[in-house]
């Protein structure tokens, strides 16, 4: 059995302000660093064999908290970056609604390609799914922690599980420094074992 623990990064100032991050390289804030330190022992207890992280600093620095406990190196993979939010990146969600009302309404309604140069969900899913498949194949039979981003994690999991957009919309977003656990059996394929695992009592933030 291969186990993937798909871990969302800790809090950032842009998370707290509901500002669209996308692929902007925004660092963890003090709360985010604390969240990573608190979550790291829980993940270390699961005896990971490898750690892979998005190259954006908020995910890489989250992974570093686990690496400090386990002694494992962190491998960087740019394919694990968050969804690219095009012309919305850097804007508050309230500003997106004001400046891009049609595209924002389509996004809220679940349109997988709302416009405004936002990366289509199909492309995000393929990018993340390919990366996760390769990571799992390289470490078959092991436990791998993948430090990534909220929207990317959702689409990547959906790609592995074969879930379409309508199903994924019913799954709650990962909280900061919480994770999803997937298992792969050679005969049975991928299975969801747990979602939003963690003990940090913080309100959920948009996976943007």
Query: Which residues are known catalytic residues?
Result: 9, 82
Q: What is the rounded CA–CA span in Å between residue 99 and residue 151?
A: 22
Phi, psi of 35 (to 5 degrees): -60, -45
Residue in the structure block whose two tokens are 């994924």:
168
* Residue 112 CB neighbour total at 10 angstroms: 19
What does the DSSP 8-state code read for residue 19?
A: B
Q: 110 in helix, strand or coil? A: coil
- Alpha-carbon gap, residue 53 to 43, rounded angstroms: 14
Tally Cβ neighbours within 10 Å of residue 171. 15
């Amino acid at each position: 059995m291969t186990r993937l623990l798909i871990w969302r990064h800790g809090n950032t100032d842009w998370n707290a302000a509901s500002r669209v991050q996308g692929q902007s390289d925004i660092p963890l804030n003090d709360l985010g660093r604390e969240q990573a330190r608190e979550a790291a022992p829980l993940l270390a207890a699961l005896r990971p064999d490898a750690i892979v992280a998005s190259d954006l600093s908020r995910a890489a620095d989250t992974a570093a908290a686990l690496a400090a406990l386990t002694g494992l190196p962190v491998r960087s993979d740019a394919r694990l970056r968050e969804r690219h939010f095009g012309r919305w990146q850097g804007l508050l969600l309230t500003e997106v609604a004001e400046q891009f009302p049609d595209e924002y309404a389509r996004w809220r309604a679940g349109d997988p390609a709302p416009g405004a140069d936002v990366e289509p969900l199909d492309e995000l899913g393929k990018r993340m799914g390919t990366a996760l498949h390769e990571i799992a194949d390289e470490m078959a039979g092991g436990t791998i922690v993948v430090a990534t981003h909220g929207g990317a994690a959702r689409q990547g999991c959906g790609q592995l599980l074969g879930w379409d957009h309508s199903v994924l919309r019913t799954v709650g977003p990962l909280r900061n420094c919480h994770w999803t656990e997937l298992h792969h059996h050679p005969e049975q394929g991928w299975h969801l074992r747990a979602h939003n695992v963690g003990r940090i009592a913080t309100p959920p933030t948009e996976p943007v």
